[in-house]
Amino acid sequence: MAYQPPVREQLFLLREVLDIGQYGDLPGFADADDETVEQILQEAARFNAEVIAPLNSVGDKAGCVWRPDNTVTTPEGFKAAYRALVEGGWPALGADPAWGGQGLPAVVNLAVSEMASSANMAFSMYPGLTHGAYSAISVGGSPEQKALYLPRLASGQWGGTMNLTEPHCGTDLGLLRTRATPSPDGSYRITGQKIWISGGEHDLAENIVHLVLARIEGAPSGTRGISLFIVPKFIPNADGSLGARNSVVCAGLEEKMGIHGSATCVMVHEDAVGWLVGEENRGLAVMFVMMNEARLGVGLQGLAQGEAAYQAAAAFAKDRLQGRALTGPKNADGPADPILVHPDVRRMLLDSRAILEAGRAFLFWTALCGDLARRHPDEAGRQRAEDYMGLMTPVLKGYLTDRGFNICSEAMQVHGGSGFTEHFPVSQYLRDCRITLIYEGTNGVQALDLVGRKLAAHGGRAVTTFFAEIDAFIAAESDNDGLRPFAEALAGAKARLQDGTLWLMQNGLSNPDNAGAASTDYMHLFGLTGLTFMWALMAKAALARIIAGDADPFYANKLLVGRHFIERILPQAGAHLARLKAGSSTLMSFPAESF
Amino acid sequence: MAYQPPVREQLFLLREVLDIGQYGDLPGFADADDETVEQILQEAARFNAEVIAPLNSVGDKAGCVWRPDNTVTTPEGFKAAYRALVEGGWPALGADPAWGGQGLPAVVNLAVSEMASSANMAFSMYPGLTHGAYSAISVGGSPEQKALYLPRLASGQWGGTMNLTEPHCGTDLGLLRTRATPSPDGSYRITGQKIWISGGEHDLAENIVHLVLARIEGAPSGTRGISLFIVPKFIPNADGSLGARNSVVCAGLEEKMGIHGSATCVMVHEDAVGWLVGEENRGLAVMFVMMNEARLGVGLQGLAQGEAAYQAAAAFAKDRLQGRALTGPKNADGPADPILVHPDVRRMLLDSRAILEAGRAFLFWTALCGDLARRHPDEAGRQRAEDYMGLMTPVLKGYLTDRGFNICSEAMQVHGGSGFTEHFPVSQYLRDCRITLIYEGTNGVQALDLVGRKLAAHGGRAVTTFFAEIDAFIAAESDNDGLRPFAEALAGAKARLQDGTLWLMQNGLSNPDNAGAASTDYMHLFGLTGLTFMWALMAKAALARIIAGDADPFYANKLLVGRHFIERILPQAGAHLARLKAGSSTLMSFPAESF
């Protein structure tokens, strides 16, 4: 069975759990009434299932092809699909109406992005990175830069990239060597080699706008001397028409385990013409806008590959006849029972559902914070939403990609031997998903960002607010009998996370190695707690419908998956807390030369 | 850094932990004195590191090539390496001297197999499967079959395969349709299609001996009507010279995520000439001999890929300069510190070591049981060893492959973006390793074999003996102060496993779905307990050397890795126990149509 976008799940979250209708008087949300949102999601589902998803395996098998004239050809069908994407106006869905966008809330846009990523992760990266470039110029660009670039990036007419990594520097951008020399006309000449540049060269868009980190001659060393530049493939004229070919070229493609349809380029800048974005030496601040957006997007990719893999596994388990149920035949007239009769197969599938459904809720909840951070009418509301965005971004990136990869692996396991062959889609989901644990900052870097920066920001204001919100939710629902198992699970999860947070405060400040040693387990504990909160919110919404007499099995199923989460996913929290408290002394005392 | 066989670790296990010298008066062990074993392992290390390992990436990139004349060409270099393997006598190491083998203990042979599998898993499968065919004919073959086939399989002059799976039947062999028709000369004519046949066709050996499951016409349906046949590619004359080409051909190769150097064949038998092995309709019993041996070998493959991936990750972490230690620069004169300074990187590496070192011990310990089951002088000793072999085989297969795959994934994580590219070896280790969770019975099937068959055999005799052995060890070491943390950890692990075993007895017998729902967590809990026991045994051996004044850091490091195991791996046991006790009601009540 081909991928089916989970529109019903998404609408449940938008309407019944997050109730985005309550923000109808805010900009953007006014145009996102129930009916419009449903129409958009249905149309997006059709487009992604029928146009984009069929190219996923094609792209994996063919890959992108680099030629000695420095051009890159994307897999067959990508070009036509990209044209359809742009003509359908999909890239512009969440962009500012001032630049030709539709201005829909980010949370609605995220639902569409999920479908795109499940349908074809490699293909979806081209518009995904373009949107990142759009955001960076939105934040840091001059009015002229905005007017020239934003409408064309918003529509997808031009593509966008992030040029950060160099061979000797990935995580540690302070080491970067690409240099920028001022020209008399106010532009710069950029020289250096960048690697792992997604969408650095391709045949989909008429121009490609590279956002490049480089060091202006004489700038301080380290991260305080890095500036951000726009380096377009074709230098645009003021009216947007294309001028000369810039001297930034793709010198080759990376051979990778997955996302073969995404061109991962070595980019060589040789006196390429670039324009400074924002202030000199403040490039990282702008790039982090792009990166934070990208991190949320990568968390979504992890979830989206997991969802697609789950769907493939569930279909296989219903279809594959092999053996008999432990309790006697369930398909007595057939040669064997479907393997879905086996508890261990159901465990793998429900483990996946329990993470995917709450992971999606957590992503949507956080994306809504992103909307409210910009659009909430009062300052306190904006600050709270901004705090949450900052705190949850590394959690979602790290936790959901880790779990998404495991879900892909479980989905392969459900397939048995078939899963290891390339005739079934699950190997590609697994291979494509694996990069999400790595790029935009490895999950270890996310965990360090969480414990070293996000947690401590503003005296721990974000996490304190989060704990208070959970406490208030539990108190408010104390009479809700049906919700009791979820409220109790939430109280337990929150207590463990609070315990871990306290341990970090007491042990991580005095010895940063303790914070580093605890970081990954803390991130997972945080992710689990976030998911438990989401299950409580979803269970509350489902219970309300059941009590109101709604007989749709969707709601009863939701409670069952939630119960499964409590029984089988949440017990992991205790192990994370124990490991977190193990400290760093054993780790750090092992001799370096003995590794 | 290229793969370095862990000879020091292996010798520590053979000499100091298992003390195989104590069995010097048993057949096979007499020829395995300390000096001989060390020479064999050193020579094996050289051969595998220098001859076999360099072909690993070559094989991955080139793969095997099928041609329309039904031939299969292995990757460049495989043929010469196979010749060197046979000439070196490596396949015959563990075979019976009666058939030209060296008759070394299985536990010594396992050490060599580990190196072969780490060096090049795909290549090592050809002799691996051949040894399986050797074992099956050893057990079930007639004297004439043994004399004809065993010497040539033992040496590797001929290859061997297992022909089990058909398109509609993998796990559920009772469904198989390949049929055998008796011929007047006592042979049979075999007709049917088999899939996923490793080494079904290749250019390495002069003949290939297929062991084929088929149903003799008129045989009962289901598993009680399955017989085992020898179907050679070339029909041998009585003197072993090759006669006519048999009508069993490779109709194509499977496209797979990994092990590209291993030819995974579709085999078509069209009235192929075959000879019955053992009795009619009793083929599965013989095949299970082969399968159990293969399962232990697959557990080893999971560990071996993890070991190779760990080594690559450790080398990368020492080499890659990026960022600074949280506690201040450790490589102040360099542009950055090696990433090994980061606690989270060390966590990933030591998590891997903690599993790998004890996993290897558990495999060796079990392989020694295999030797003692055949060679122990008294019946009780043989029975005990046989019980352990049966009980531990599914645990080692399921647990070590699951963990081995995670170790490969962690090793990729240590590599950052480099790990996702095919320029570094870790992607191949991850992709190759993934099949180990699936073939020779998926890990879910292993878990069911454990809870449904092995645990209950002889009234639970094996597990009862295991618990008693652990109790006796703890009691005997009660005065060993240095060992106390390990003894306490072991007592805790054993208590949890006993608790889980009791739960299974109380809930799994009345409702088999409870056993199925608990099976995977039980298997992991068992694996963790086995590893805890191994850590106690290794710590005891290391402590004895330290107390005796041995200053080799090997022993102090061993204790540190063991402590890491207790602090950071063992906490997982509580989560497994909680999940195990969750029962099956939520799992089984979820409607099939809603998956």
Q: Chain A interface, mutation test: which of B262, B318, B346, most A Cβ atoms within 10 Å? A: B346
Among chain A residues, CA nearest to B322 = A172
Instruction: List the beta bridge partners of residue B213.
Output: B228
pTM exceeds 0.95 for this model:
yes
Q: Chain B interface, mutation test: which of A8, A319, A344, A577, most B Cβ atoms within 10 Å? A: A344
Chain A residues with beta carbon closer than 8 angstroms to that of B567? 579, 582, 586
Burial class, A442, CB count within 10 angstroms (exposed 0-12 / middle 13-18 / buried 19+) = buried
> CA of A382: how far to CAs of A378, A386, A533, B281, in Å?
6, 6, 21, 74
Q: Round the average pLDDT of chain B to a whole number and report it.
A: 97
Residue B267 φ/ψ region, left for φ over 0, alpha for ψ in the -120 to 50 degree band, beta for the rest:
beta
Q: Which pLDDT does position A289 carry in this prediction?
A: 79
> Whole-angstrom Cα distance, residue A135 to residue A287?
9
Task: Work out the minimum CA distance from A546 to partner chain B, whole angstroms.
Answer: 17
**Domain chopping of chain A, boundaries:** 53-88+120-281, 442-587
Chain B residues with beta carbon closer than 8 angstroms to that of A409? 405, 434, 437
Q: Where are the alpha helices (DSSP H) in B320-451?
A: 343-375, 379-415, 417-420, 426-434, 443-449
Task: Work out the minimum CA distance from A223 to partner chain B, whole angstroms.
Answer: 11
Q: Averaged over B358-373, what is the pLDDT?
A: 97
Nearest CB to A435; choose among B349, B420, B520: B420
A442/B343 CB distance under 8 A: no
Tokens, residue A545: 């419908």
Contact B196, B254 (CB under 8 A): yes
Q: Averaged over B245-250, what is the pLDDT?
A: 98
Nearest CB to A587; choose among B350, B574, B584: B350
Q: Which pLDDT does position A170 carry in this prediction?
A: 86
Contact B298, B439 (CB under 8 A): yes
Q: Which pLDDT does position B318 carry in this prediction?
A: 98
Please report, rounded to a whole number, the percentage of residues in chain A having pLDDT higher than 90.
Answer: 97
pLDDT band at A291 (very low <50, low <70, confident <90, very high): confident
Query: E-strand spans in B85-233?
Result: 158-163, 179-182, 188-198, 207-216, 227-232
B326/A512 CB distance under 8 A: yes
A1 pLDDT above the threshold of 80: no
Please report, rounded to a whole number, the percentage of residues in chain B having pLDDT higher than 70.
Answer: 100
B560/A327 CB distance under 8 A: no
B322/A560 CB distance under 8 A: no
Contact B290, B441 (CB under 8 A): no
Instruction: Provide the pairing of β-strand B65-66 with B72-73.
Output: antiparallel
Q: Averaged over A523-535, what is the pLDDT?
A: 98
Of the residues A114, A357, A440, A477, which is catalytic? A440
Chain A residues with beta carbon closer than 8 angstroms to that of B586? 350, 560, 563-564, 567
Classified as helix, coil or strand, B182 is strand
Residue entry with tokens 């066709």 = B201
Contact A101, A94 (CB under 8 A): yes
A170/B322 CB distance under 8 A: yes
A169/B578 CB distance under 8 A: no
Tokens, residue A298: 């990568």
B352 pLDDT above the threshold of 80: yes
B434/A515 CB distance under 8 A: no
pLDDT band at A526 (very low <50, low <70, confident <90, very high): very high
Q: Averaged over B364-385, what is the pLDDT?
A: 96
* pLDDT tens track for A409-463: 999 999 999 999 999 999 999 999 999 999 999 999 999 999 999 999 999 999 9
The DSSP element (H or E) to which B270 belongs, if any, is strand B264-277
Residue entry with tokens 């016409």 = B217
Give the residue from A329, A351, A350, A333 showing the smallest Cα distance to A341: A329
Q: Chain A interface, mutation test: which of B265, B321, B341, B420, most A Cβ atoms within 10 Å? A: B420
Give the residue from B370, B230, B359 showing the smallest Cα distance to B307: B359
3-state SS string for A112-130: HHHHHHHHCHHHHHHHHHH
* pLDDT tens track for B44-72: 999 999 999 999 999 999 999 999 999 99
> CA of A173: how far to CAs of A163, A222, A533, B326, in Å?
11, 8, 36, 16
pLDDT band at A575 (very low <50, low <70, confident <90, very high): very high
Tokens, residue A333: 């007239």
Q: Which pLDDT does position A288 carry in this prediction?
A: 85
Task: Work out the minimum CA distance from B235 to partner chain A, whole angstroms.
Answer: 31
* pLDDT tens track for A479-504: 999 999 999 999 999 999 999 999 99
Q: Name the residue type at position B225.
A: G
How distant is the alpha carbon of residue B148 from its chain centre? Answer: 28
Nearest CB to B587; choose among A343, A434, A584: A343
Chain B residues with beta carbon closer than 8 angstroms to that of A172? 322-323, 336
> Whole-angstrom Cα distance, residue B430 to residue A591?
27
Nearest CB to A574; choose among B172, B344, B575: B575
Q: Round the average pLDDT of chain A to a whole number and report it.
A: 97
Q: Which pLDDT does position B25 carry in this prediction?
A: 95
B413/A443 CB distance under 8 A: yes
> Whole-angstrom Cα distance, residue A25 to residue A377?
10
Contact B542, B555 (CB under 8 A): yes
Q: Which residues of B are catalytic?
A: 440
The DSSP element (H or E) to which A264 belongs, if any, is strand A264-277
A427/B560 CB distance under 8 A: no
Contact B11, B38 (CB under 8 A): yes
The DSSP element (H or E) to which A159 belongs, if any, is strand A158-163
Q: Chain B interface, mutation test: which of A125, A346, A431, most B Cβ atoms within 10 Å? A: A346
Classified as helix, coil or strand, A405 is helix
pLDDT band at A290 (very low <50, low <70, confident <90, very high): confident
Query: E-strand spans in B510-588?
Result: none
In sequence order, what DSSP letters do the residues of A282-346 get, joined into one string? BHHHHHHHHHHHHHHHHHHHHHHHHHHHHHHHHHHHHH-B-S--TTS-SSTTSSS-BGGGSHHHH
- In chain A the first and final C-alpha atoms are separated, in Å, by 46
Q: B76-85 in b/e burial notation, b at 16+ Cβ within 10 A? A: ebbeebbeeb
* ipTM of this predicted structure: 0.97
CATH class belonging to B53-88+120-281: mainly beta
Tokens, residue A467: 């704990």
Burial class, A482, CB count within 10 angstroms (exposed 0-12 / middle 13-18 / buried 19+) = middle
Q: Which pLDDT does position A158 carry in this prediction?
A: 98
> Whole-angstrom Cα distance, residue A539 to residue A554?
11
Residue entry with tokens 């608790």 = B499
Contact A363, A299 (CB under 8 A): yes
Contact A396, A363 (CB under 8 A): yes
A85 pLDDT above the threshold of 90: yes
Q: Which pLDDT does position A293 carry in this prediction?
A: 84
Q: Averaged over A224-251, what is the pLDDT?
A: 97
* pLDDT tens track for B540-594: 999 999 999 999 999 999 999 999 999 999 999 999 999 999 999 999 999 999 9
A438/B427 CB distance under 8 A: no
> Whole-angstrom Cα distance, residue A91 to residue A123?
13
Q: Which pLDDT does position B293 carry in this prediction?
A: 83
Tokens, residue B571: 């906490």
Q: Which pLDDT does position A240 carry in this prediction?
A: 96
* pLDDT tens track for A17-65: 999 999 999 999 998 999 999 999 999 999 999 999 999 999 999 999 9
Contact A213, A287 (CB under 8 A): yes
In sequence order, what DSSP letters do the residues of A14-55 get, joined into one string? IIIIS-GGGGTTSTTGGG--HHHHHHHHHHHHHHIIIIITTH
Task: Work out the minimum CA distance from B384 to partner chain A, whole angstroms.
Answer: 30
* pLDDT tens track for B300-322: 999 999 999 999 999 999 999 99
Q: Averaged over B4-13, what is the pLDDT?
A: 98
B590/A557 CB distance under 8 A: yes
Q: Where are the alpha helices (DSSP H) in A440-511?
A: 443-449, 461-476, 484-508
Q: Averaged over A84-96, what is the pLDDT?
A: 97
Contact B263, B198 (CB under 8 A): yes
Tokens, residue A110: 């995220």
Q: Which pLDDT does position B13 carry in this prediction?
A: 98
Residues whose CB falls within 8 Å of the CB of residue A587, separated by 6 or more in sequence, listed in order? A513, A517, B343, B346, B347, B350, B564
Contact A161, A208 (CB under 8 A): yes
> Whole-angstrom Cα distance, residue A515 to residue B326?
9
A595/B336 CB distance under 8 A: no
Burial class, B8, CB count within 10 angstroms (exposed 0-12 / middle 13-18 / buried 19+) = exposed
B190 pLDDT above the threshold of 90: yes
B161 pLDDT above the threshold of 90: yes
Tokens, residue A540: 């509350």
A543 pLDDT above the threshold of 80: yes
Reply yes or no on whether A279 is catalytic: no
Chain B residues with beta carbon closer than 8 angstroms to that of A444? 342, 344-345, 348, 413
Nearest CB to A447; choose among B344, B346, B557: B344
Instruction: Provide the pairing of β-strand B179-182 with B207-216.
Output: parallel
